[in-house]
A and B are shown apart, each in its own frame.
Chain A
Amino acid sequence: MKYLSLIFRNISRNRVRSILTALGTMVLVLVVTLVWSVLDFLQKATSEKNANIKAIVTEKWQFPSQMPFSYAGPLSEGGPREKGDYRVKPDDSMTWQFYGGSLVQDPKQRNPLENLFAFAMEPRKIMTMMDDLDDLPKRDPKAAEEFKKVIEKMEQTKNGLIVGKDRLKLLNKTVGDKFKIYSINYKGIDLDFEVVGVVPPGRYDGSVFMRRDYLLDGLDQYERNNKKKHPLAEKTLGLVWLRVPDQPTFQKVAKQITTNPAFSSPAVKVETSSSGIGAFLDAYRDLFWGMRYLLAPAIWVTLSLVISNAISISVRERRLEFAVLKVLGFRPGHILWMVLGEALLLGLSAGLLSAGATWYFVNKVMIGIKFPIAFFPAFFIPIDALWWGVMVGGVAALAGSLLPAWSARTVKVSDVFAKIA
């Protein structure tokens, strides 16, 4: 690339302009990266997988789903009845119950920020089944080792609570603190808790986990004290998650469960987590459409306008130089590529830099962007963003510099030097 240094010199010739253009490119690439990250995450969350499928079992008709806890055991195995039926392995299932409450007893004094909403489940399953935590040992073995200890602690502490770091801050508590929670949804079941650890930073920064047997004890205690069952006693199970190796197994398990008469009152449905999330997100489809087909393209076009403007200005200022180069024997193609090269170098490197910085800043410093869509607490920038950045910057640069480069290419030597007439 013997022309590279020439291209580089030309970019650094008007520093202010190149910096402005690069900055413009960077911020616009930033927006596209953010928008695409959200869309990409949702796309991945809703696209069907062929292996290691997670299935959700919920009440068939009603939302929110409220099933009796007696469903928990058989559903966790995949509802097998006959020999030959598929049995889900113990580590491949989890149950979710939801316990919500506040630090404040008087409902009128409550501030929603001091509320907590806990997943009641088996501690062990937090690491084997929860999305983005089940792959922690692979992603970050050190963090996984530490989190394992937190979970062991929870297994020894019945009233233990594992809290996300943001939630912990909102509650103004630290690890080791003990406090009472006055329940909002399980009225009359107020429980004492002790914070045993923090969730690894990321998706669950606002979440809380408690032990399900602690909630079940609370329901039993209520029945003993009040001589009647708690109104939610038979409606405590929200979701059952199952992991199955492949699509045929999923179909088989789904059939096992839906044809099993034990799960008929209320009836249940089985769906893959991606299809469940898809149904949930469908309400936002217009919004996503707008992000994908209005917002991102418009920013992209704006970006190529900004680049095009800068390159046109610089081409106009250098018409004479291009003519000189032509006199020296440079062909129109050389000049075209030189101008395209300047734009490309600028666009590609600003795009890469921007995407890289966004990736680092969002993932490592901010630990996810909080964007209020559906139940996803935070979005992360995938590593793919690096090539998105390069592509967005590059394509915009190419589109923006095509016309100016063509006009540079067609500079007529005799016009520029004409001294006739």
Chain B
Amino acid sequence: MLLSLVLIQKLYIGCALGLLVFVAHALLGRVPLSYNVRNLSLRWKTTAMTALAFTLVMGLLTVMLAFVNGMYLLTISSGQPGNVMILADGSTDESFSSLGYSDIGDIENQAGILHEGEQPLVSRETYLNVNQPIENPRPGRPNRRFVQLRGVNDPVLAGRVHGLSLYDGGTWFSDAGVEEAGEGMSLIQVVLGEGVARVMAGDRTDEQRRSARNPDRLEVGDTFSLGGRQWIVKGLLKSAGSTFDSEVWAKQSLVGPMFGKTASSTLVARTAGPDEAQKLRDFLATEYKKSAVNAQVETKYFENLSATNTQFLYAIAVVAGVMAVGGMFGVMNTMFAAISQRRTDIGVLRLLGFTRGQVLLSFLMESMVIALIGGLIGIALGSLSHGWSTTSVVSGGGGGKSVVLKLVVDQTIIAATLAATLAMGFFGGFIPALSAMRFKPLDTLR
């Protein structure tokens, strides 16, 4: 993913440089630019139609790239630089991991792990993917979903290790993890990501939503059902932009057995920084003999999760590439027609002393200007998608995590799209411009 972004950047720089040389050449060579511009505005309908095709293609490309970018940013910002994530040996994903109880205590006492007083900063967690039947499914929508449930031993510690805090008004769940609701009913306490709070808020009936404190999001004190039990929200995690945004956290000793997983799946240990984290990981991976574990620097783990992004980027590249080719044929048509309409003009220009090269350049500029006008509008429209929330799935080959991500339009994307625009304008105009260049001046005047 990083590699492809770097490549795009390189491509852009290359194109920008090319354009600069091009413009400089055009100005120094006194290409009859005003003539081309005048013509563009004279044939404004054709120009507008061609430009509109660019607007659509580039607008789409912007949105698609913003999606991949959002996914990428989500995965890189989910990990803490100083954290080491420890899974059972052989498990590539938390869903499949199961750690022995005795191993946990020993790992927690390894050097390099930060302490808070006596307490090592290690969060013991059980990651569960739980089926949640949806009580009032919307028409045409499934009647169940997967909820990502994380049983944590100590929520305060877990929040500290993952760098997450709660929105005002929320509290971490109690040590017991449950509270009485009268009539012998008990409620399981949870804190949850804002994203999943919004998703679950959509399960309520319209009537329930009208009387709710917040129709769009579960708030502190709201309840939901899962696994045949009622659960109460104690706090909302400030988790936007990370995979934790889609997670529900509850007491590990309660939810683990409830869903058939008594062992911890994951340990997350906090060290002083990235270097220390790398050291601890290397130690656990190579020298630690007591038990075999799969230790990864947390940022690396999340980077692997973005393997999906590369696949998406690949798919987008194919789609965008094909669309660009289609658009290019459109530009070629426009330019061929423009040139055949102006055969005489070209002859006159040549007789006045303009060179073949200047004629070529002037028509190339013309097609690139059309592309640029359309492309810029497309990028501007596509940029409106910045900040849209969408659901998706990230995975690194093992189990996937469904996530709520925001589309992010940034400089790199604008640059890449702009480069694609100019490239399309260039290639679309090149062959027609070549043909214009090859007119014999006297023939055209006959």
Direct contact of A and B (CB under 8 A): yes
The reply on A107 being an interface residue by CB < 8 A is yes
Which A residues lie within 8 Å of B128 (CB)? 62
Which A residues lie within 8 Å of B393 (CB)? 283-284, 374
- Cβ contact within 8 Å between A31 and B322: yes
Which A residues lie within 8 Å of B45 (CB)? 312
A202 to B153, CA, bound (A): 46
Produce 1/0 per residue, A379-403, CB < 8 A to B. 0000000000000000000000000
Which chain A residue has the least Cβ–Cβ distance from B96? A185
Of the candidates A271, A309, A310, the one having the most CB atoms from chain B within 10 angstroms of its own CB is A309
The reply on B312 being an interface residue by CB < 8 A is yes
Which chain A residue has the least Cβ–Cβ distance from B54? A302
Which A residues lie within 8 Å of B323 (CB)? 27-28, 31, 299, 302
- Cβ contact within 8 Å between A308 and B49: yes
A64 to B329, CA, bound (A): 49
A385 to B98, CA, bound (A): 47
Chain A nearest CB from B199 CB (Å) reads 10
The reply on B53 being an interface residue by CB < 8 A is yes
Which A residues lie within 8 Å of B400 (CB)? 283
The reply on A357 being an interface residue by CB < 8 A is no
- Cβ contact within 8 Å between A306 and B333: yes
Which B residues lie within 8 Å of A28 (CB)? 322-323, 326
- Cβ contact within 8 Å between A20 and B333: yes
Which B residues lie within 8 Å of A372 (CB)? 308, 311-312, 315
Which B residues lie within 8 Å of A371 (CB)? 315
- Cβ contact within 8 Å between A17 and B391: no
- Cβ contact within 8 Å between A309 and B334: yes
Which chain A residue has the least Cβ–Cβ distance from B60? A298
Which A residues lie within 8 Å of B130 (CB)? 61-63
By DSSP majority rule, is chain A's interface helix, strand, loop, or mixed? helix
The reply on A245 being an interface residue by CB < 8 A is no
Which A residues lie within 8 Å of B143 (CB)? 275, 279
A80 to B63, CA, bound (A): 53
Of the candidates A35, A108, A310, the one having the most CB atoms from chain B within 10 angstroms of its own CB is A310
Of the candidates A35, A187, A283, A374, the one having the most CB atoms from chain B within 10 angstroms of its own CB is A283
Chain B: residues with Cβ within 8 Å of the partner, total of 66
- Cβ contact within 8 Å between A24 and B322: no
Question: Which one of B46, B60, B146, B286 contacts A63 once the chains associate, using CB atoms below 8 Å?
Answer: B146
Question: Which one of A107, A283, A302, A308 contacts B326 once the chains associate, using CB atoms below 8 Å?
Answer: A302
The reply on A324 being an interface residue by CB < 8 A is no
A298 to B265, CA, bound (A): 45
Which A residues lie within 8 Å of B57 (CB)? 298, 302
The reply on B399 being an interface residue by CB < 8 A is yes
Which B residues lie within 8 Å of A308 (CB)? 49
The reply on A130 being an interface residue by CB < 8 A is no
- Cβ contact within 8 Å between B96 and A64: yes
- Cβ contact within 8 Å between A294 and B325: no
- Cβ contact within 8 Å between A64 and B95: yes
Would you list 22 pairs from A and B whose C-beta atoms are within 8 A, ordered by A residue?
Answer: A20-B333, A25-B326, A28-B326, A30-B322, A62-B131, A66-B260, A271-B144, A275-B142, A283-B392, A284-B393, A285-B391, A299-B60, A302-B326, A302-B327, A303-B326, A305-B330, A306-B53, A309-B49, A309-B53, A312-B46, A312-B49, A313-B46
The 10 closest A-B pairs by CB, nearest first: A24-B329, A372-B311, A286-B390, A283-B402, A306-B330, A63-B129, A313-B337, A279-B142, A28-B326, A278-B142
Chain A interfacial positions (CB closer than 8 Å to B): 16-17, 20-21, 23-25, 27-28, 30-31, 34-35, 59-64, 66, 107-108, 112, 183-185, 187, 231, 266, 269, 271, 275, 278-280, 282-287, 290, 294-295, 298-299, 301-303, 305-306, 308-310, 312-313, 317, 371-372, 374
* Inter-chain pairs besides A278-B142, A306-B53, 9 sampled, C-beta below 8 Å: A107-B89, A184-B91, A184-B92, A275-B142, A294-B63, A299-B56, A305-B50, A313-B46, A313-B337
Chain B interfacial positions (CB closer than 8 Å to A): 45-46, 49-50, 52-53, 56-57, 59-60, 63-64, 67, 89-92, 95-96, 98, 128-131, 141-146, 227, 258-261, 285-286, 292, 294, 308, 311-312, 315, 319, 322-323, 325-330, 332-334, 336-337, 341, 390-393, 397, 399-400, 402
